[in-house]
Structure 1
């Protein structure tokens, strides 16, 4: 009896390159003795709803998605909300594909399909933020809205540069949020222009931004919170430190966390895996240790 793959792809992601390789990928899965059920997404939350609906009706050995980090987030969210927990495969075809870098997945979609069939099944941590799941990052503040405010057409034309240009447009309007942070036995209260809880060695296409000790299965996230600079020179220094992964800066709080609470008098917009995640006064974030099983490549 053949094993079964539920294959969900975003036809618009990353210059629509999945369309070029779709037949080859399905043939690859067929050679692996899999029966393949295919769905193309048509809009936001479509991947999540497809997963929930399909897993209610039938069983699958693998749920494979092709798209960007947002598509992967939807698939994982759908699995987390289902009783069945099949293994996840990922064919990265988005603009930055941060999480694919963590999983050591090749950029070539046919090669990534081979990894899905023959790679290592890996128990991986994910997070939950106010009831919403995230794969690798939840963030607020400077630049974080660039990913979801950038149009798909810009992403397809300019790639990662589209995010950078969108972020630069926001530089004159940077603002700080006064936030009280509770983690472990500690409380921090300060004015922050940026904050991130992450489980990734790559964020926004920048490698090493969360330090060198990131592990995807240690039950911990990396918390990074950037204080409000006092002038333009400090601001430039802070941005340089952040992008270079210099987390020993006087302007940056950096610590490992399992659970964290953030409280702010005004509502703060959040980005979840690069997509708009809502605005909140109070945020509760928790690490769900080894909550999913996902296929990764070799070192």
Structure 2
């Protein structure tokens, strides 16, 4: 496996077993066999146990009381070392004292404990715990979050407006009115390691935590190549021009449903003119300065969040091992 495949949410080798998605009998028999194979999510937050850098997903039996208010759709995630894994949305459950402002924040620090959940199990924001999980648990959680999120926001047929129904193990929605079939969306995003000699270009968006900087990124537009998107996004945000572009790594990013394409972009200019509509600030930092950022010694810049592909690319750029 290339180092690029070790990015968070990728590289676990999950068997998605797509051949079972249309086998309704097999999908129904798996959970009914009595095994703990269903992962509940509340508003996109997986149920997990553990903290302080080590956590694991919490799987429940199909008759567990936590699942009493689960939505009808159940997503078949695949086979985890031969065990069937499913995900269910229990967002209909209303915890006591929900802080909506915190839940909608950049990083939700709140925990929700269902009264019937196993001891120590809480619904936790995946972004804050993604590096605590094993690669397999991280991939399962990201998949569950993305697909269940798609079901919550795509209940109605985009062709005729009628309500559609989940089929194929939760990997499609079918409209009974017009026959339209709809599939989970994935939005391609380029994220750029822009370098000029020994320096790298970092930026920050409005609303980010104070001092947080990351690599520039943006959505790929229809009819556009990854290379063209890299050049366009960097220029739109900073007016820095880009020459050679090469692919480095990718990361599924379920916020809500992106696939991040990490690219190396060689800048052909250095002068920065920030577009305030796009970003708040952008700076060139030397390799030595980025080393200080990662060590927590920089007086202005904080590092990209650990687990995000930006952190992964910068860390490997510092170590000169982008392979």
When you count strand as a share of all residues, which structure comes out higher?
1
The TM-score with structure 1 as length reference comes to: 0.31
Higher relative contact order (CA 8 A, sep 6+): 1
Higher helix share: 1
